[in-house]
Structure 1
């Protein structure tokens, strides 16, 4: 993993993970093409292998949680914002990733991610998750990364298992997964 200073990014072999600033974050729902232009990306169609309600929930979370949290925590915005997964070779958006914020009192940080259908089954989600875990586990108060899945048998579970997550059992609406800091 390599971190650059201006702007902050985390890089992997095939991806550049870029945490969106408050100004960039505001473009996600209102003008996605402007966001791609602002980031210097090649425009690409973006399609998720998810129920239609996912995007409604995603935009609602951006409005009600992410934007206010980034605004309230400018020095720690990377823990609250949406990270864009940019495919280096194609210079386009391959997916996104986010965290729940700074670690809670138990040292837990929840994470979530999605991949553009065009880039599914290429190992990019696993690669991005490995990189963001390195970023998360540098923080001295983090003890555990947590993720949730709707089922026990889907591609997201495979991504989590490849990155050393263990099952935390069932929770309302799905399954909990965790990885402890080593």
Structure 2
């Protein structure tokens, strides 16, 4: 668990991930939080079932790099978004990060704070040397979050910008 002024970041266990996917309030009950409103797209659910859940269940993998970290707003005791690493660090010590803020909590600086927290944690891991991220070219708020946290744009394709932060 990681804590900042406004937020708590908590990696989910396999059972908690299943509850998150159910989106029926059972995760919040388990974590003793107020109910959150969020939508899980078919694409996200597919990614959970095919990648995240099997990786978290694999005892040989560090689940802190394979699970979803929920972002909890302390003042409301509510999940407001999530962060996840897309895989374990590669041979060069790079990890890829993804993140999402629930609609009602966008534009308030919470994800900038959450990314700063997870970066501080990642910097303390001896084998992590850099973090990679991608954002849609049309998603200016997302790339501003990365810029505020020291990421540099390192490339692009038709629809995405590529970002990297080297420690």
- TM-score range for the pair, normalised by the shorter chain length: over 0.9
Secondary structure in structure 2 of the residue aligned to 1:95: strand
Q: Deviation above 6 Å: which 4+ runs of structure 1?
A: none
Aligned to 1:141: 127
List runs of 5+ in structure 2 lacking aligned partners: none
Aligned to 2:21: 29
Corresponding residue to 1:162 among 148, 153, 163: 148
User: Per the alignment, do residues 74 and 31 of structure 1 end up closer, same or farther by CA in structure 2, a change over 3 Å counting?
Assistant: farther
Corresponding residue to 2:84 among 67, 74, 98: 98
- 2: distance between equivalents of 1:91 and 1:77? 24
Secondary structure in structure 1 of the residue aligned to 2:41: helix
Asked whether 1:108 is paired with 2:100, we answer: no
Which deviations, in whole Å up to 9, do the C-alpha atoms of 1:57-88 show, x marking residues without a partner?
21111110000011114661111000000000
Contact kept? 2:55, 2:61, Cα under 8 Å: no
User: Per the alignment, do residues 67 and 12 of structure 1 end up closer, same or farther by CA in structure 2, a change over 3 Å counting?
Assistant: same
Aligned pair count? 167
Normalised TM-score (structure 2):
0.93
Contact kept? 1:109, 1:144, Cα under 8 Å: yes
Secondary structure in structure 1 of the residue aligned to 2:92: coil
Corresponding residue to 2:4 among 12, 16, 19: 12
CA RMSD of aligned residues (A): 1.7
Aligned to 1:78: 64
